[in-house]
């Protein structure tokens, strides 16, 4: 007779209670994705530099029309609280102190990936689509390109475009804003 094993999935509320109880070490990088607590990879120099470069660019360009969040959580549903590298979210007077941004608040999500590119592409991005996030950018540091995902469905994004050096892209939420791939890739 075989025994069926089941995974124990957690809610956002349970995840917060675990954090308050000290289950996670100080500075331990974890996020909740579809009920699973995922240990995040360490941030390398190249990854950090790309996130900082892009965050500075967005701060300069959209600070009056959006809040730029860097590696801060967003709440997608009762079982997911990811921490994208950058999230451009609707402006709110309390800066989301009362409640985290949800998928309706997100204008653009950006993931920067080197060692985690497959996880980001195969797990996080489809999850963002199922949550209704309108646009996600994946900066693939290994391939040195940007993948832009748009038009979410429950089965993933309908549209994916790949941008390389010498090209420009504009976020859906800010069509007047032109982002140079060269500027961001350094």
Q: What is the pLDDT of residue 71?
A: 94
Instruction: Kindly give the parts of the chain with pLDDT less than 70.
Output: 1
Q: What is the pLDDT of residue 1?
A: 61
In angstroms, the CA 147 to CA 164 distance is: 9
In angstroms, the CA 129 to CA 119 distance is: 15
| Residue 9 belongs to a domain | no
| Residue 35 belongs to a domain | no
* Rounded CA Rg of the chain: 17
Structural domain span for residue 105: 42-185
Give the pLDDT confidence of 158-182 residue by residue, as tens digits. Answer: 999 999 999 999 999 999 999 999 9
| Residue 107 belongs to a domain | yes
| Residue 156 belongs to a domain | yes
Q: Tokens standing for 150?
A: 């748009």
| Residue 115 belongs to a domain | yes
| Residue 17 belongs to a domain | no
Q: What is the pLDDT of residue 26?
A: 80
Q: Any idea what the CATH number is for the domain that residue 70 is in?
A: 3.90.1570.10
**What is this structure's pTM?**
0.92
| Residue 130 belongs to a domain | yes
SS (H, E, C) the chain: CCCCCCCCCCCHHHHHHHHHCCCCCCCCCEEEECCEEEECCCCCHHHHHHHHHHHHHHHHHHCCCEEEEECCCCCCECCEECCCCEEEEECCCCCCCCCCCCCCCEEEEEEEECCCHHHHHHHHHHHHHHCCCCEEEEEECCCCEEEEEEEEECCEEEEEEEECCCCEECCCCCCCCCEEHHHHHC
Q: What is the pLDDT of residue 153?
A: 97
Name the domain count of the chain: 1
Q: What is the pLDDT of residue 167?
A: 96
């Amino acid at each position: 007779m075989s025994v069926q094993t089941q995974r124990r999935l957690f809610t956002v509320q349970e995840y917060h209670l675990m954090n308050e109880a000290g289950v996670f070490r100080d500075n331990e990088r974890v996020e909740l994705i579809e009920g699973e607590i995922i240990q995040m990879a360490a941030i390398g120099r190249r990854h950090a530099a790309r996130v900082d470069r892009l965050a500075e660019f967005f701060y300069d360009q959209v600070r009056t029309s959006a809040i730029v969040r860097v590696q801060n959580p967003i709440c997608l549903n009762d079982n997911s609280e990811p921490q994208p590298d950058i999230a451009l979210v609707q402006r709110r007077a309390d800066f989301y102190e009362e409640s985290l941004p949800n998928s309706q608040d997100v204008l653009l999500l950006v993931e920067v990936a080197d060692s985690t590119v497959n996880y980001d592409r195969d797990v996080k991005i489809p999850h963002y689509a199922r949550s209704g996030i309108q646009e996600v950018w994946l900066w693939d540091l290994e391939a040195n390109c940007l993948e832009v995902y748009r038009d979410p469905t429950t089965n993933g994004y309908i549209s994916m475009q790949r941008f390389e050096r010498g090209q420009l892209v504009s976020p859906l939420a800010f069509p007047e804003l032109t982002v140079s791939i060269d500027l961001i890739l350094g």
